[in-house]
Structure 1
């Protein structure tokens, strides 16, 4: 019975399929009875869809048509590889373009990520934009120093004066922090502050504070506070000096009057020569013998009858007439400057800064013996303006003229350097008085390095050891020895500032290009201050004359050290 039903279902399905060529039939089987159904139901599983195909008779084909179809197939078969090759060639040509497009997109994304990038180099911590339009560098230096006086024998002080002896000890010689950079490629700027400078007055801590326009790679103009262009040793940063302190004549005639002055300047520098010219007024702040303001903040405040600001025109020309390469050259140069000085007087004709060496007008020159912790002046001209307007013996400095000649010879690890400086004093009560000084020294690198040259400054630059120091490696850094002679004479006519000469010896170790250790021994050969008055007269006050006089024929020798760490 079951077999009959199954056969009947199959017959019905076949008949239904024959009714229409477009009819599709879905069939289901009952899992228990094994019956076939055309509709879904409980226990039924779909077994497929069935569609009737009607046979369509094709029209007869002629022999010509067969030949034509055969030719088309042959042509298609033969042209298929050609079309494939053509498609491959087009794809190969398009591939580099697609890759270039993808690389361009990646580069744009990288540029977006790296518009500003930073690094550490000789300029310190440096950041800049990828297009070079803007940059900024954070830099600084710290110089811990020590001084031990193993011969220290001036005359004893008397009365209410303080002791004449120099003091041993340690301090932070300089602690500077600065920022510099560029904007729109042709402009740059620099601001630097020294936290150990200026006897605690805020304004005096400012050193560089200027903006510069670089007209070309060689020619530039700047405005603000910057170093006056004078002297080979002064042009070099204190980070790159051979000895711990500059020589007495450079300190007295350039550094102590504060070489950082406010004004405008122009500089032209190429590889073989450079020149700098400047028109400047007084330094920022009150710490300086060149400060004529009656106020504690110096030139930052000209109120209360401080008078007009002093000014100067100054310049330096230097170059390397002989040069084989950067390790073998001869440098020569000259400097000159004229400085106008104001002296302030009260309504009754008395001088405001009588006896002072800074503030209230006038000018004084003084020198310390190359020491770095106790830099007490053992030579001192006193204020070169002294006496009331009604005093027939009064003296008033109205200006001074400075001149300098310099030479520097470098031949591999050997170097020799020297300068001569002269300052002429002009004004009421003076007749051709002049102060002079000179120095010379030689140095040698035991490890083979050479002195480096700073083209824009025309002076010494950073030393880079051939083998920087390594704790567990072969490098010991660079080692340099040096010896020199130093002389200054501030006795001339009515000026009785004293005369001295000395020798100094140095050992320098450069473990890395940004770290330097220096050890110096200084020894005074002769000190002549017999003409300096011991009373507070003739431009001296506060016992400064008595102190200078107390060093006449005195003996002094000291051992100095200093670390320089800069970034």
Structure 2
């Protein structure tokens, strides 16, 4: 059979296509550009011949399985990424929660262990103090009479925890301050009686403070100074008798205005938290002590109750104020401080009987045996007690001097109880002392309170040349609780002290107290024990170790 030329051409083309598919494909690479070509050309080098191979069914299945596995892994990775993103957001939120209030960061400041928010809206500090005291009596009774005093007529040697306080203080929204403090050494069986500060203070204006709650009455320089910064172990007799012993922490509302060089503070206050502000005298549990053989017992906050009940009577109240200023001020180590305090206190005649009465008492600067050698006995209910005080202090580098005078006038109303006391009695006391820092420091002054503040040594004690701060002091004080039928007694003391501050938060004190001629003729209150102190010259050595934060 003959084929036409057209048929031959068509067969050739068709056959060539089939052969092209079956034939290997030659590939060439350009030496310069590294591009791949299917045809030869100048500068191209043959890579080789490549034959197309069809995928088998097994290969296709394997590829599909690999593809499915890859997709599954991709989905798993996506889920992991999503989970990580959620965890990351949670961590960021937690981090912001922690970092914003700064609760993860602690700071030891002058206010204690302090927590503070980044924006300053919230602040809280945990503070505390512990004072461990000891007393050794060189002469502990009146031996000038020639008689041997019995155990009840002597001061006792020993040691105790004078104060053990823990509290929190701070602010919220910048304008509101708060403080709560509890003294575990002063409860005397009543939980509430251990509360010292428990107040809120608004300071929306930088100079103005409005305080509500339980806080210290604004009276006296030495009372306004924290017991942590006192020069001597115990406050002087006049301050102890007229302010501290009746409990300076009372419940009320106070206003204060402070400037860099002067302060004005006032308060309207009732009784201390935990019961009456009073003392009582008793014999064998009786509230009235009238015979010569009875024993005087001082009871602080004797109610043991924070509320009124059972005919306990109305609360007494007082208005108290204090003004301070710096008439001469060169710098923070050279200035003169002056101040005045005043108080009007009224005790209603239904205050609740002898257990809630008021009495002025005083120990003779003793810190462990705090026997009230001077004691007015309970004052008449219905009386008005008017206190007045003047204060001054000079600071000149390492040298300082301080003095105060306090007077209390007692006015009886027409229906005042207890005819033993005449109307118009005046009780008074004063003190003065000087101190000097051998290591060159100066006492620190806080203008906001018009009182002394924390001592910071120039060099802390470190055993490598740092000695801490060393201070010596000498003072004299006098208290007279005899007037218009009130025979509370009279005494003077001379004292010498050495203080060592190894660190601003640690303090060690040593005092030598010499009591000059106690005049205690009140046999009605003290009986044989009271008479045993009359004419006595006592000597005692006292020590204190203190830590605060």
2:256 matched to 1:267? yes
Alpha-carbon separation, structure 2, partners of 1:26 and 1:525: 131
Of 498, 518, 527, 1:527 maps to 518
The match for 2:490 is: 499
Alpha-carbon separation, structure 1, partners of 2:128 and 2:411: 39
Alpha-carbon separation, structure 1, partners of 2:534 and 2:496: 23
The C-alpha deviation readout for 1:234-261, integer Å capped at 9, x for no partner, is 0000000000000000000000110000
Of 432, 450, 474, 2:424 maps to 432
1:507 Cα offset (Å): 0.1
Cα 1:442–1:110 shift into 2, 3 Å: same
Alpha-carbon separation, structure 2, partners of 1:269 and 1:364: 33
Q: Name the SS for the 2:496 alignment partner.
A: strand
C-alpha contact (below 8 Å) 2:175/2:204 kept by paired residues: yes
Q: Name the SS for the 1:285 alignment partner.
A: coil
Q: Name the SS for the 2:538 alignment partner.
A: strand
1:366 Cα offset (Å): 0.7
Of 421, 443, 447, 1:451 maps to 443
Cα 1:50–1:364 shift into 2, 3 Å: closer
The C-alpha deviation readout for 1:388-424, integer Å capped at 9, x for no partner, is xxxxxxxx45210000000000000000000000000
Alpha-carbon separation, structure 2, partners of 1:199 and 1:546: 27
C-alpha contact (below 8 Å) 1:295/1:306 kept by paired residues: no
2:182 matched to 1:193? yes
2:402 matched to 1:417? yes
The match for 2:317 is: 311
Alpha-carbon separation, structure 2, partners of 1:50 and 1:227: 100
Alpha-carbon separation, structure 2, partners of 1:294 and 1:469: 40
2:533 matched to 1:551? yes
The match for 2:38 is: 51
Alpha-carbon separation, structure 1, partners of 2:24 and 2:276: 111
C-alpha contact (below 8 Å) 1:408/1:416 kept by paired residues: yes
Alpha-carbon separation, structure 2, partners of 1:504 and 1:287: 33
1:153 Cα offset (Å): 2.2
C-alpha contact (below 8 Å) 1:294/1:352 kept by paired residues: no
Q: Name the SS for the 2:106 alignment partner.
A: strand
Deviates more, 1:421-430 or 1:174-183: 421-430
1:198 Cα offset (Å): 3.7
C-alpha contact (below 8 Å) 1:380/1:545 kept by paired residues: no
The match for 1:380 is: 375
Q: Name the SS for the 1:550 alignment partner.
A: helix
Q: Name the SS for the 1:549 alignment partner.
A: helix
Cα 1:309–1:288 shift into 2, 3 Å: closer
Q: Name the SS for the 2:152 alignment partner.
A: coil
The match for 1:11 is: none
1:266 Cα offset (Å): 0.7
C-alpha contact (below 8 Å) 2:516/2:536 kept by paired residues: no
Of 431, 434, 437, 1:442 maps to 434
The C-alpha deviation readout for 1:106-146, integer Å capped at 9, x for no partner, is x9997555221321111110001111111111110000110
The match for 2:547 is: 565
Q: After the TM superposition, which residues 343-362 of structure 1 pair with which residues of structure 2 at under 5 Å, given as runs?
A: 343-344=349-350, 352-353=353-354, 359-360=355-356, 362=357
The C-alpha deviation readout for 1:315-360, integer Å capped at 9, x for no partner, is 0000111100100000000000100113448xxxxx831xxxxx33
Of 464, 467, 475, 1:476 maps to 467
The match for 1:146 is: 134
Alpha-carbon separation, structure 2, partners of 1:455 and 1:288: 30
Question: Could you list the runs of 5+ residues in structure 1 that have no partner in the other structure?
Answer: 1-14, 29-35, 37-48, 56-106, 346-350, 354-358, 386-395
Q: Name the SS for the 1:450 alignment partner.
A: coil
1:228 Cα offset (Å): 0.1
C-alpha contact (below 8 Å) 1:203/1:297 kept by paired residues: no
The match for 2:204 is: 215
Of 332, 335, 341, 2:338 maps to 332
C-alpha contact (below 8 Å) 2:278/2:302 kept by paired residues: no
Q: After the TM superposition, which residues 38-437 of structure 1 pair with which residues of structure 2 at under 5 Å, given as runs?
A: 51-52=38-39, 113-115=98-100, 116=102, 117-154=105-142, 163-286=152-275, 288-289=277-278, 296-298=302-304, 300-344=306-350, 352-353=353-354, 359-360=355-356, 362-385=357-380, 396-427=381-412, 428=416, 430-437=422-429
Cα 1:51–1:363 shift into 2, 3 Å: same
C-alpha contact (below 8 Å) 2:197/2:214 kept by paired residues: yes
TM-score (norm 1): 0.74
1:215 Cα offset (Å): 2.1
Which structure is larger by alpha-carbon Rg, 1 or 2?
Answer: 1
1:26 Cα offset (Å): 6.8
Q: Name the SS for the 1:475 alignment partner.
A: coil
The C-alpha deviation readout for 1:357-386, integer Å capped at 9, x for no partner, is xx33x321010010110000110111123x
The match for 2:455 is: 463
Alpha-carbon separation, structure 2, partners of 1:456 and 1:290: 33
Q: Name the SS for the 2:228 alignment partner.
A: helix
C-alpha contact (below 8 Å) 1:230/1:315 kept by paired residues: yes
The C-alpha deviation readout for 1:6-40, integer Å capped at 9, x for no partner, is xxxxxxxxx99x968xx788739xxxxxxx9xxxx
The C-alpha deviation readout for 1:429-465, integer Å capped at 9, x for no partner, is 5332110000000000000000100122100100000
Question: Could you list the runs of 5+ residues in structure 2 that have no partner in the other structure?
Answer: 1-11, 27-35, 43-91, 281-286, 288-298
Alpha-carbon separation, structure 1, partners of 2:233 and 2:218: 21
Alpha-carbon separation, structure 1, partners of 2:438 and 2:160: 30
